[in-house]
Every structure is written in C-alpha cells, then in structure tokens.
Amino acid sequence: MTAYALEVQSLTKVIGKKKVVDQVSFSVNKGEIFGLLGPNGAGKTTIIRMIVSLINRTDGAVIINGNNLDEQFKETMSEMGAIVENPEFYKYMSGYKNLKHYANMALKKVSDERINEVAKLVKLEDVIHQKVKTYSLGMRQRLGVAQALLHNPSLLILDEPTNGLDPQGIREFRDYLHMLARDGISVLVSSHLLSEMQLMCDRFAILEKGKLIHISSMKETMEIDEAKEVVFEVDNSEEAVEVVKEKMEALSVKVLSDHQFSVNVNRADISTINRTLISNDINVYGINRVEASLEDRFFEITNKGAREEVK
C-alpha cells in the first residue's frame, strides 16, 4: 500500500513555445499539509489545474493513492476534493441547499447525514440553513471546503484558499486544515503568503519560473544550523563587544544599545561567547536567537538559485 496520497511525476505544461511548468515532481504523504510556494506566475495554479484535470498536461503523470489518473480516471478523481480559485455558490439558496445540489452531482452517493456531518466539521451547522448571501467571505470559504469534502475524499487540493480573508478568518481556516490532517486527510495548498504557509504546512516546495527549486520539511528548513543573529543582554555592551572581538576575531559583532549587542554565530559558539563574557567579569542577563522566518529562508533559497543561474 502506497504511503503517498499524491505523486506528481515530471509534470510539464507547454503553452505556445513557453514551458509554464517544467518537469515538476513531488509527493504528498498521507495526513500531511503540503505547500506549493512561489510568486504569482511561478506555475502553482497551472500545476493544480493539471492535477485536477481542468487543463491537459503536456507531459508527466498524476498518481493518487497509487492509482494513475490516466488509467483509472473516475476512481482517482473520486479521491480528490478541490477548491480552485474562489468557491462559487448560489447566493439566493441556503448553504444546505447548495451542498445538496453538489451532492446530487457527485459520483458517489452522498447522504443527508453526510451533508450535516461536513457542515458540522467546518462549523457551519448553526447557519447552514441560512442563505449564502448572508455569509461572510470566511464562511463561504468554509462552505467551499464542506463542498469539497462531501464525497469523503482522501486528498484536498486548495489554490490560494485564504485570498480575501481577514486575519481571524485565515487563522480559523488554518485550524480547520490542521484538524482535517489529524483525521488523515492529505492537503495540497498553494499560496504566496509565506508567513501563513509557515504556520500551516508540514512540508513545502518552492517554484520559480515553472521549475521546482527546493523541497523540504518546514521543520528542517527553519532549524537549519547556519550562522544566525544572536542578541546578548549584558551590563556593558561596548566592553562586551571588545572582549568578544579579541577572543573571536572572525565574528560579525554589532552594538545595539548600552546593554545589548548582536553577533552572527553558529549555535555551537554561543556557549563559548557566554563563557568568555563571564570569565571577563561581564554579567550576561539574556541570550536570544533571532529566528529567521520562512520569508527569510524563501529569499535565501531563491536568491541562491538566481546566483547559480548566472554562473
């Protein structure tokens, strides 16, 4: 039995003479949230539209739970639920009647009990019989998730799902996705909102100009042990900086205030600096690592790719 909910193999899309997506391969584990990152025009939406068969692939394969989309189309599509761009509903109808309408079009039979179940799952049970025109944008997004989950798919695919949501709506939506992942549903989500993807995803891939340039777990990326900025709080920062520079000449040290200085240093050297300060009768009141954000790492990775292209 395959461990992957989704495998994308050498996915390629050519429009005219331009390769919009160029030999992209990645996999999504069962029960994980996997992010596609990249600027607008990087190919994220094109990849998603190829996966859900809204547009044809020039080359490559899509495998869902071990089944090839080309060979077992109906069975494979029934394993997917998707929101591509903003979900659209009949605003003059209630949320329930909209879901009932989609249920009637599903390949699998969807019971009234299942409709009530997904409404509760996305916390719309109290308003499900109200007209959609009374819903906030966040509520309509949740109704979109409910519609995508009606036929009980194992894989949920979302393209820029938090567009237009306010901070509270984004947080609520993120919490729903984490809940779904805990229940065993795999999620593929695309976005250009890096700070949100950092909080949402287990693993991610970075796309640039249609090519996949980086793929890793969020934890590995954020914990990479390169030199990081560390802020020391001491009783006399200028004196402390002189001591550190004398002991470790190669370090980049900067006075921030009378009682704080920063230094770019590997984790292993932090304790060495601390011991050096104490042995020179400088009191240390705090040591804080300035953690890089996903945005910082994103630009490090993309800028590195750009430099390698120039070479």
pLDDT at 35: 92
Are 140 and 239 part of one and the same domain? no
Are 73 and 169 part of one and the same domain? yes
| pLDDT exceeds cutoff 80 at 91 | yes
Domain of residue 127, residue span: 4-222
CB–CB of 8/60 below 8 Å? yes
Q: pLDDT higher for 196 or 62? A: 62
pTM: 0.73
CB–CB of 130/140 below 8 Å? no
């040591």: which residue's tokens? 287
| pLDDT exceeds cutoff 60 at 225 | no
- Nearest-Å Rg of the Cα atoms of the chain is 25
The answer to whether residue 304 is domain-embedded is no
Are 38 and 162 part of one and the same domain? yes
- DSSP secondary structure string, 49-84? HHHTTSS--SEEEEEETTEETTTSHHHHHTTEEEEE
The CA-CA-CA angle for residues 78, 80, 83, to 5°, reads 130
Are 125 and 180 part of one and the same domain? yes
Are 29 and 112 part of one and the same domain? yes
Domain containing residue 234: CATH number: 3.30.70.1650
Positive/negative CA dihedral, 27, 305, 296, 161? negative
Are 209 and 246 part of one and the same domain? no
From residue 205, alpha-carbon distances to 37, 47, 214 in Å are: 6, 12, 6
Strand order across the 228-234 sheet = 252-257, 260-265, 228-234, 284-289
pLDDT at 311: 45
Instruction: Provide mean pLDDT across the span 81-99.
Output: 87
Are 232 and 218 part of one and the same domain? no
Report the domain count for the chain.
2
Are 270 and 203 part of one and the same domain? no
Which of 183, 205, 222 lies at the terminal end of a domain, its last residue?
222
